[in-house]
Structure 1
Amino acid sequence: MAEVAVSFAVDQLLPLLREEANLLRGIHKEFADIKDELESIQAFLKDADRRAAAEGDNKNEGIKTWVKQAREAAFRIEDIIDEYMFYVGQHPRDPGCTTSLNKIAHLIKILMPRHQIASEIHDIKLSVRGIKQRSEMYSFEQGSSSSTGCPKGQWHDPRVASIYIEEAEVVGLEAPREELAGWLGEEMIERTVVAVVGMGGLGKTTLARKVFDSKKVTGSFDCSAWITVSQSYTVERLLREMLEQFSRERQESPPKGVSKMDRNLLIHEVRKYLQQKRYVVVFDDVWNVNFWGEIEVAAFDNNKKSRILITTRSMDVAEFCKKSSVVHVHNLQPLTPEESWKLFCKKTFQFEFDGCCPEELVNISSEIVQKCKGLPLAIVAMAGLLSTKQKSALEWKKLSQNMSSELDMNPHLSGITKILALSYDDLPYCLKSCFLYFGVYPQDYIVNSERLIWQWVAEGFVKDVKGKTLEEVAEQYLTELIRRSLVQISFEVDGKVESCGVHDLVHEMIVRKMEDLSFCHCIGKDDQSTFNGIIRRLAIATNSNDLVNNIKSSHIRSLHIFTNKKLQDSFVRNIPMKYRRLKVLNFRDVPLGNVPENLGNLFHLRYLSLRNTNIQSLPKSIGKLQNLETLDLRQTQVRKIPREVRKLKKLRHLIAYHLNYKEDFVMSWDWDKGIQMNDGIGSLTSLQTLCLVEADHGGVELIRELEKLTQLRLLWLNHVKQEYGSALCVSISEMHHLESLHITAIVEDEVIDIQFTSPPAQLQQLRLRGKLEKLPEWIQELQYLVRLSLSYSKLNHDPLESLKSMPNLMYLLLYDAAYEGETLHFQLGGLQRLKELTLRSLYGLNSIVIDKGALPALKRFTLRDIPQLKEVPFGIHHLENLEVLDVADMPNEFDERIDPAAGQQRWIIQHVPIVYIRHKLGSKFSVFDTRIIHHSRCN
């Protein structure tokens, strides 16, 4: 992590040296010297970080100290850069400062801070130079690393046992094994790659081994080999192992001189050997995305139905093979709760209690199994430990409550975190900080990806890439973490990750790492810990001021509050003074009543979330937050934005609305309230997100000012009048990057009059809430539109006639009188990519016809509150891929027809795995009495 801290410091120095050369004057050379010294240190840090974490190294303490010094020197550099930029921002030279007295006053103001900064920089320079010199005594190996991060033989790798696991001990792999065996046995003559992808500890090696050891599967191949690749490998070693295993299997001698052959000769020998043979080779534990490019020439396509089986944590490794081979990918999933329990009992009680859990241990055992979250590695390790313990519920309870420390200290469990940590060690430094950031959030916390990305950007983790916004680059970072099986998707919409999280045990590993590396300190509800060293980020889940006040706050860059109890006013009031270098301030879901008047003291603040707090206004000092990028005011009582916000030239995301979920907003036009900005919005030229603004408070002039916001990706306007139509079209036509557009009319019968001659080419989401005289023709031109939502449109003509040919539409919502006709007809070949369809509160609709061949990709179909629809949609049985049918508040006749016991049309939905029949309870929007019907789908 010192590597990360130092690299981050260098990344900050580079633009400073480029952009501030004139301002820095004498300080410039000192900064440049520090940069050079740090860059020379970077080369040693990867090996130093690895050895600092190693066990059994005689120089371990010395190396740890060196790494700590390098990390803290980087922190000091980051601090002094922030300090310098603060004084540059607070004391710019006044162009009107012409008199001698004014000049003298200005100099007095800035000379003292500048002198202090220069002195600190010089001290840092000497410190860094000393750190560099001390590196020589440790004989670091530049760039070297081992697959475990530990000297050979210092820990027991539990993955070794997974290769030799007995058949009777295997749980939950039956279906995956059949799928893999089927792919390996296909009749296709071309070489095929079968990839098993999943996070560490899921059982990829066990699965592959069981398939490989099956004579039924591999018996039809002429030769086979099992090659363990791991993080550190050479192509030469892999090729030699292949030749040796092939020869040993056929009781032949390997080629003469194989141990001395170079790569080219080895490739030639492997190709010659495989020329006329049908072969299968397993490459276990592949990390490097370039692996296939290095090995495919030897394991070539001989048109003999040959097969390659790869296990990997990275989806990119699997997909890289597609450039030259047919590829089948199996995403290995965690065990189900039932499978987890079965595996736990097999391992814990294999020699007693007939393999069953005693009744007095069932509850605590279930708790322990649940914490493993379906990860076989963790279940087996915990079971192995408990099998050695006295069968006492009290003792097991203590272990469960202290699992975090047990994972670190208990030799039975330490292998779990080491194996999971391999994925962290393999990350490039720009992703390590992003990954560790998941530890800022509490365990089991589902993180909104948009929020996460904005925080990464605010922290400075995201590098500039030409032609991309920082948010787009950060989205790529998140995608890579997902593809490396480190981050789990919780919810995905429109092909983009909406929310995500990490496995509980991965979270435990992250928390320990970030505490050791001074990345973040988390204060839990019952935390009584003390704090030593520099803390860069602070996550608070307690109201204890005693704990918080013990922290040296001057170094903290991020403050996250995770409590639903009111904070002490003194703590909140002191934040702008105590935490002056904050870049991220997250108050989300905290019952906060007021924002400190001196909020503007937080000069470096880039991300401010007041979401779901009780605040009613913002202080005027907010205009001093010159670096603010994100202002999140969702679900607050703020209705008017201070004029001073116009000064926030770097503001990229302004989100402020209040949705009233307490009432049935189907019946209420104003269930969503926005903010009022009468003028000056056009000065916020960096805005990418603006939602939602009540347009009538600025009128046509506000709409015209929107024309200046050319960087907008998302625009949400409320209270739009018909007369704004022409000006709105002109403004939106200048938003060449616009991806999402939401427009709500001022009243239900107000016409939304938007007639584009050239609609936004990149638009992916469109939501129109208000009357349409007819479906706008320009909607059909939106080639990239993924989601369309229409309500109160009061269309008389079937809109599907116009929408059926839209190539990328995946989500269609027609609700609240969007259509007043009697019939909707989904025609043959229409809406080929649609995944979700919602029809709600369409009061005239009495029939739905679905042609065979329409909606072939539909997975979820929702019908709600359509009082005239008493017949099940004709043709619904054609929807072969439908997974969920959600029926809510439909007529009794409709429910009776699909009743599983006596319904006349129950046959028509028997192919749908899950059918919900709901009836609303009370006035709230989403509270239902729900009946679930499960059908088994035949393959």
Structure 2
Amino acid sequence: MRPFNPDDLLQSLDVQIHENESEKKGEGAEVPENKGEGAEVPEKEGGVKKGKQPLHDLKGKKYLIVLDDILSSTEWDAIKQHFPATETASRIIVTTRVKKIAKHCSEKQHNMYKLESLQPKYARGLFMEKVFGRDTDLDEQYPELLEQADLILKKCSGLPLAIVTIGGFLANQPKVALEWMKLNRHISAELEMNPELETIIIVLNKSYDGLPYHLKVCFLYLSIFPEDHKASRRRLVRRWTAEGYSREFRGKSAEEIADNYFMDLISRSMILPFQQSIHNRKGVDSCQVHDLIREISISNSTEEKLVFRLEEGCSLNNQGTIRHLAINSNWEGDESEFENIVDLSRVRSVTVFGQWRTFFISDKMRLLRVLDMEDAFGVVDHHLEHIGKLIHLKYLSLRGCDGISHLPDSVGNLRQLETLDIRGTRIIKLPKSIINLQKLNSLRAGRKPMDENDFRGGIPAACLLPVLSVMLCIYWCAPQGSSIDGMNRCDICTFFCRGLLPVAAMHLDRYGVLLPRGMNKLKALHTLGVVNIARGKVMLQDIRKLNRLRKLGVTGIDKKNGEEFCSAIASLGHLESLSIRAEGEQGLCDCLDEMSSPPKNMQSLKLYGNLPKLPEWIAGLKNLVKLKLRSTRILDCKAAIEALGRIPNLTILCLCNEAFKGEEVRVNFHLEAFSSLVVLELESLGKLKSVEFEQGATPKLELLQFSGTSDIKLFSGLPALPSLKE
């Protein structure tokens, strides 16, 4: 009962128990229904007598009690002491929306049961039964309804309540595609206005109403993202932090607290884990929202004027003060319409999905904190010309904007900036003004290699590219006017003169960025990468002074800077994640042997490039959780596997693209090796001949993922893996 009162609950239970006993004895004792707080309980048999402890009569008896919808651990603690010890034949069943509360209530892990959504086969069967009174084959009897039925089931996402309610509603509607199409198009309005569907909203709203305030605002924020969008954990956590939804508390950073919020919403099933990624040592790296729960988010965020979604068919009425503006790919309005719909002077965040247009950034957005253009297309250099005017900006993402090759110097005016994400752009050099961003804590840059050949050959046609780039610079920087795909001549000139030409002239790879001198001033940095360290030791001297770094990615390491690099890494005591890449045939040869004292807290290590022998210090990383070896071409596979098998906390091991070299690569997992390994990824290991698991090896292995071969006969000992699930 809400509001929760333990005394009322215990009295109600006592009344129900005695009522059942009276019915069994045929006494017909009248016991008034307990109405919750303030209900009177008679002082007679069948009620709670004065001085008598509630539930006292259960002692020594067999009983089954169900406590539905416990919302906090304190509620359980307040009542569990009143129950007699549960003997063999007695049980208490608790239902709750929150996983950690279930753990708190259950003494044993195997006593917990997570209610999963229905699999597609059973969801369709239940839906057909509610609509037609029997399981019906739509392909044969109602083929015109098939597409709309699939859309309805997708929105229900296996939720039985939604399937039964919507199916029951459609049972009384004409069995024509047009009616079902209307329901799909206007599901939000139908859920709110149709009495036959209001049960869904009532139940789902209970989940929302049960959230504490700090989680409510984080949940409503998710209505920014389009339907079926997979929101990354990284993106959400840093945006919530920029919005001020989490703050540093007693030594715990705002980002760590926001990360807890993410997992709390997962635990409460308000957001669903999209992918338990083998590439993320934290487990869940992205999420999505159940379609019907998303309707709750949209409805409440609109009502509170928190989020306005600019999309096809949206209301053109003036919305007044809106904090967060989301521009969908299907909106085709013009500049005047854009400025008239919302008060841009109060907007705190702008998120663009799909096509970028120049008027999406306005001088009126003086309070803007978040500008997120991740994967937007059509963004080019001159669109960022006035970015420095957004002086309150805390989060700027150009991730995946392939048309960007240069950041303007004015970016140095963004003194409040905390996150700068330019990963997946063509930027290879940062402006000097970047060192003014004293609050910057996360700088993500660089491009991912497209294929394995990118690790071997360096820049193709290295001799011709500088000459070609100079010629193109001269041509495109000439004064005549022209443009390509929205790029003006200045953009094209910048691309060649500040992009291709420096890369070619300095023989750099294309997957890291060059940093200006003075980066050591950015003391707040905890995430930095991918950085190209090929141009001298000054950059490494700056990096070694960034003593708050927890995550670092570098490229361009070689024999010349290897010793200096190892020395710099040894000074970063808080480093948890390190990624090292080297191009060409030389690769990482003789570059990592000087690492005498690697950071003790290192949890993730990724090595890309030729490395004939595994460095000895890796086996000593006691806290290492994830290791990825790609294109390392290690000669002694047996010795390397034996060394890695002794790392006590290694949970994820990825061996990719010729991690080992030899005529016959045999990977053997011996007794008591890899005691903590949960995920093993084997990808394109070249001349792989066998993978053998001895009895007792990898006892916790749950996922074995392999590609590059379809011959399952290469694997032996799979039946000996007690925990293998997939």
Answer whether TM exceeds 0.5 for this pair. yes
Residue of structure 1 in register with 2:415 after alignment? 626
Aligned ranges for residues 767-846 of structure 1 at < 5 Å? 767-772=606-611, 774-797=613-636, 798=638, 799-821=640-662, 822=664, 823-843=666-686, 845-846=688-689
Match 1:341 to one of 101, 119, 124: 124
Deviations 1:413-448 (A, max 9, x none): 223223212222222222211111110101111100
Aligned partners of 1:862 and 1:360: how far apart in 2? 40
Partner of 2:314: 527
Asked if structure 2 preserves the Cα contact closer than 8 Å seen for 1:716 and 1:741, the reply is yes
Partner of 1:195: none
Quote the residue 2:373 is aligned against: 587
Aligned to 1:701: 538
Q: Counterpart in 2 of 1:218?
A: none
The code of the aligned residue for 2:68 comes to D
Equivalence map 1:398-797=2 (5 Å):
398-492=182-276, 493-541=280-328, 542-545=331-334, 546-550=336-340, 551-563=342-354, 565-567=355-357, 569=358, 571-572=359-360, 575-591=361-377, 592-594=379-381, 595-613=383-401, 614-661=403-450, 665=454, 673-697=511-535, 699-750=536-587, 751=589, 752-772=591-611, 774-797=613-636
- Is 1:291–1:317's contact at 8 Å kept on the other side of the alignment? no
Q: 1:826 to 1:678 in 2, by over 3 A?
A: same
Tell me if structure 1 keeps the 8 A contact 2:455–2:631.
Answer: no
Where structure 2 has 5 or more consecutive residues not aligned to the other structure, the ranges are 32-41, 460-508
Q: Equivalences for 1:283-322 in 2 at 5 Å?
A: 283-322=67-106
CA contact (8 A) 2:99 2:268 kept: yes
Structure 1 pair 664/883, CA: closer, same or farther in 2 (3 Å)?
farther
Question: Aligned partners of 2:169 and 2:674: how far apart in 1?
Answer: 55
- CA distance, structure 1, for counterparts of residue 109 and residue 51 of structure 2: 27
Instruction: Give the corresponding residue for 1:60.
Output: none
Normalised by the size of structure 2, how large is the TM-score? 0.83
Distance 1:543 1:817 in 2: 48
Q: For residues 557 and 306 of structure 2, what CA distance do their matches in structure 1 show?
A: 46
Alignment partner, residue 850 of structure 1: 693
8 Å contact kept, 1:277–1:304: no
Match of 2:5 in 1: 234
Which of 697, 711, 716 is equivalent to 1:874? Answer: 716
Write the deviation string for residues 794-827 of structure 1: whole angstroms up to 9, x where unpaired.
Answer: 4333211111122221211223333235432210
Match of 1:538, SS?
strand
Q: Give the Å deviation of 1:835.
A: 2.3
| C-alpha deviation, 1:358, in angstroms | 4.3
SS in structure 2 of the partner of residue 717 of structure 1: strand
| Distance in 2 of aligned mates of 1:576 and 1:748 | 49
Q: Helix, strand or coil for the counterpart of 1:585?
A: strand
Q: For 1:282 and 1:875, how far apart are their aligned partners in 2?
A: 45
Give the aligned length. 644
Aligned residues of 1:536 and 1:557 also touching (Cα < 8 A)? yes
Select 1:367's aligned residue among 151, 154, 169.
151
Partner SS state of residue 775, structure 1:
coil
- Shift of the 874–358 alpha-carbon distance from structure 1 to 2, 3 Å rule, reads closer
Q: Could you say what secondary structure the match of 1:369 adopts?
A: helix
- Residue 244 of structure 1, aligned match among 7, 15, 21: 15
CA distance in 1, matches of 2:203, 2:708: 52
Q: Residue type of the partner of 2:618?
A: I
Tell me the percent identity.
33
Matches of 1:622 and 1:483 in 2, distance apart? Answer: 39
Q: Distance in 2 between matches of 1:723 and 1:257?
A: 91
Verify the 8 A CA contact 1:753 1:772 in the aligned structure 2: no
Q: In the aligned structure 2, how far is the partner of 1:865 from the partner of 1:392?
A: 48
DSSP 3-state at the match of 2:371: strand
3-state DSSP of counterpart to 2:206: helix
1:186-265 aligned at under 5 Å gives the runs 229=1, 231-251=2-22, 256-257=43-44
Distance 1:715 1:779, change over 3 A: same
Q: CA deviation at 1:662?
A: 7.3
User: 1:49-198 alignment to 2 at 5 Å?
Assistant: none
Asked if 1 retains the 8 angstrom alpha-carbon contact of 2:388 and 2:412, the reply is yes
Q: How far does the alpha carbon of each residue in 1:174-229 deviate from its partner, in whole angstroms, 9 at most, with x for none?
A: xxxxxxxxxxxxxxxxxxxxxxxxxxxxxxxxxxxxxxxxxxxxxxxxxxxxxxx5
Q: What is the CA distance between 1:243 and its match in structure 2?
A: 1.7
Question: Which residue of structure 1 aligns with residue 166 of structure 2?
Answer: 382
Identify, as 1 or 2, the structure richer in helix.
1
Q: What TM-score do you get using the length of structure 1 for normalisation?
A: 0.65
Q: Could you say if the C-alpha distance between residues 392 and 805 of structure 1 is closer, same or farther in structure 2, counting changes exceeding 3 Å?
A: same
CA contact (8 A) 2:455 2:582 kept: no
Distance in 2 between the 1:854 and 1:351 partners?
A: 50
- Give the distance between the partners of 2:633 and 2:142, measured in 1 at CA: 64
SS at match of 2:73: coil
The offset of 1:543, in angstroms, is 3.7
C-alpha deviation, 1:746, in angstroms: 4.4
Instruction: Please tell me whether the aligned partners of residues 15 and 48 of structure 2 are also in contact (alpha carbons under 8 angstroms).
Output: no
- Aligned residue number for residue 919 of structure 1: none
Q: Please give the alpha-carbon distance, in whole angstroms, between the structure 2 residues aligned to 1:351 and 1:870.
A: 42
Partners of 1:380 and 1:696 in 2: how far apart? 62
Aligned to 1:190: none
- State the Cα deviation string for residues 738-793 of structure 1 (Å, max 9, x = none): 11100112433242324333321221110112344532222222222111112343
CA gap of 1:792–1:442, structure 2 versus 1, over 3 A, is: closer
Structure 2 counterpart SS, 1:335: coil
The CA distance in 1 between the partners of 2:230 and 2:169, in whole Å, is 30
Q: Per the alignment, do residues 471 and 416 of structure 1 end up closer, same or farther by CA in structure 2, a change over 3 Å counting?
A: same
Instruction: Give the AA of the match of 1:704.
Output: Q
Moved more, 732-741 or 472-481: 732-741
Pick which of 607-616 and 588-597 moved more.
588-597
Shift of 1:515: 0.9
Question: C-alpha offsets along residues 663-715 of structure 1, whole Å, 9 cap, x if unaligned?
Answer: 86576667861111141221111111111011112x22211211111111110
Q: RMSD in angstroms over aligned alpha carbons?
A: 2.8
- Deviation of 1:359 after TM superposition, in Å, equals 4.7
- Displacement of 1:532 in angstroms is 2.5
Q: Distance in 2 between matches of 1:354 and 1:768?
A: 53
In 2, the alpha carbon distance for the partners of 1:701 and 1:310 equals 61
Change (3 A) 1:680 1:384: same
Distance 2:45 2:648 in 1: 56
The residue number in structure 1 matching 2:497 is none
State the SS of the aligned residue for 1:370: helix
Q: Is the 8 A contact 1:831 1:854 kept in 2?
A: yes
Partner Cα separation in structure 2 for residue 503 and residue 442 of structure 1: 12
Distance 1:407 1:844, change over 3 A: closer
Q: Which moved more, 1:551-560 or 1:282-291?
A: 282-291
Q: Measure, in 2, the Cα distance between the counterparts of 1:655 and 1:511.
A: 31
